[in-house]
Structure 1
């Protein structure tokens, strides 16, 4: 038996759907010969998986969020049904649960959602066709009033060389400020960096990075105590540079960064995969000296603030 299958998402070529919304689609099944089946069904699946090494221990974490079926032909108790050769078209629809996490794809783990079309063929292995789609768990920035407040991070650092004989007792004061801590994809983050360089070492330039932090967790019991394995990876989504600051100079620097399309912050819906974001500001000093780094934790949402606080 030879067959091809195309799974289409209605009015949704990007295959993106929000949690709580209705997913509609069409199955176009083409059979090259008459085929007996017990059933043909659509299966929607969503799950998390991660695998990594912790010392000598191999850790695997799994979690299932969604597993729903819709029969297009027959049922699980039906007898054999004959399908004629040619094209067969079937519509399907599912309401996505609201309490599921967003899709994410990391180096050692992921959260994935798929639509599968299954031909249950008697005396043969089932034939499965699969199409992945992106699910977004919407995050409304208005639900967290603290995100409206200015975000400020300060770092006071001595000029610490790798050769301590060159130690400069004067310090570098850096304060990085964003107008709010909640943002949307494609929104511009306007950072203000105030620098008081009281040292004799110049800052050659500043870099700014938008970092996606993906944290993987695996719970386990040890001697009656609950604990977990934990692994974190970083993904740089944006990098920019600006002017530096000379020795014994006070300066204010403005840097603008646009947040690219990316899933919202997600720390509640999954026990296996957590997704957070931060803006990392780095003051780059000569090779013999340690760079000064500031991390500004931000939240990326799906719905904007309802007033003009971010404009």
Structure 2
């Protein structure tokens, strides 16, 4: 059988939709020859999947799985002859509001798809698939604590391998609030106080997306919990450092790219959080000083 199919979302070429909203579109099916089917339907599906090959562990979650029939019906056993030609169908689904955003990681993913299926009586079904991005809305106004300034501090001892009394480098970082939107900039103020002769060659700020995976399973009759965490750097900026025994204030601006909002509630298996990692790169054999500031990325801005 030779057939082609186009699945278009109404006024939505980027195929980005929000949880709880209406998804509407058009299916254009082109059959180049007469075709026998039991039915033709569209299926919309949302699921999470993660797997660890080395440990033979996997986790699955299904959020919804809905069908809409264009030709025929559920459980239809009869044969329907479709003439060669072009067919046009429309569809609409109201998406659930209590589902997580799409995410793509190395270990797992949360994925949403629309599939058009030709249910064939004698052959394998012909399936046409179109993925779309679902975004779960997060209103920053629902989390009033995020309006407060975000402050973090970290101190590192530099003791010259124990030959002298310990000296320290302290960095204190401050952001105006704890919640932001994609395409906003986080203006960081970093106060550096070095009581050591060890210089800092550079300061860097990374925006990191943390994807956390969790699954509980039984092994030899016992419950075992498996956790894994994946880091993805979304933005990186570096500036000059400071000399030893110096106190100064530096500024770093972290740009937030388009990215899904923070998500820790809707999926038991996969959670998405964000942090800004500030690093003071020290010279010589000393370990770098790092400070992590957790931030929340939302969908709706603060109202003042």
| Normalised TM-score (structure 2) | 0.96
**Pairwise CA distance, 1:184:** 0.2
Distance in 2 between the 1:232 and 1:175 partners? 26
In structure 2, relative to structure 1, the CA distance for the partners of 1:133 and 1:160 (3 Å cut) is: farther
TM alignment of 1:290-305, pairs within 5 A: 290-305=287-302
**Pairwise CA distance, 1:224:** 7.7
Q: Which residue matches 2:106?
A: 107
Q: Which residue matches 2:90?
A: 91
Q: Which residue matches 1:186?
A: 183
Q: Which residue matches 1:63?
A: 61
TM alignment of 1:230-269, pairs within 5 A: 230-269=227-266
Task: Provide Cα deviations, 1:278-303, integer angstroms capped at 9, x if missing partner.
Answer: 00000000131110000000000000
Contact 2:159 2:167 in 1 (8 A): no
Runs of 4+ that moved beyond 6 A: 222-225
Distance in 1 between the 2:215 and 2:143 partners? 28
Task: Provide Cα deviations, 1:101-148, integer angstroms capped at 9, x if missing partner.
Answer: 000000111000000000001111110000000000110001111111
Q: Which residue matches 2:216?
A: 219
**Pairwise CA distance, 1:220:** 2.4
**Pairwise CA distance, 1:27:** 0.5
Distance in 2 between the 1:76 and 1:234 partners? 43
Q: Which residue matches 2:25?
A: 25
Q: Which residue matches 2:284?
A: 287
Q: Which residue matches 2:40?
A: 40
Residue 197 of structure 1 pairs with residue 194 of structure 2: yes
Distance in 2 between the 1:187 and 1:19 partners? 22
Say what the alpha-carbon RMSD is for the aligned residues: 1.5
Contact 2:7 2:28 in 1 (8 A): yes
**Pairwise CA distance, 1:169:** 1.6
Task: Provide Cα deviations, 1:22-80, integer angstroms capped at 9, x if missing partner.
Answer: 00111110001111111000000111011115xx6321111111100000111024322
The count of aligned residue pairs is 303
Distance in 2 between the 1:120 and 1:274 partners? 36
**Pairwise CA distance, 1:7:** 0.7
Contact 2:204 2:280 in 1 (8 A): yes
Gaps of 5+ in 2: none
| 1:73 corresponds to which of 56, 71, 74 | 71
Instruction: Give the SS at the match of 1:142.
Output: helix
Q: Which residue matches 2:2?
A: 2
TM alignment of 1:140-155, pairs within 5 A: 140-155=139-154
Gaps of 5+ in 1: none
Instruction: Give the SS at the match of 1:260.
Output: coil
Q: Which residue matches 2:156?
A: 157
| Normalised TM-score (structure 1) | 0.94
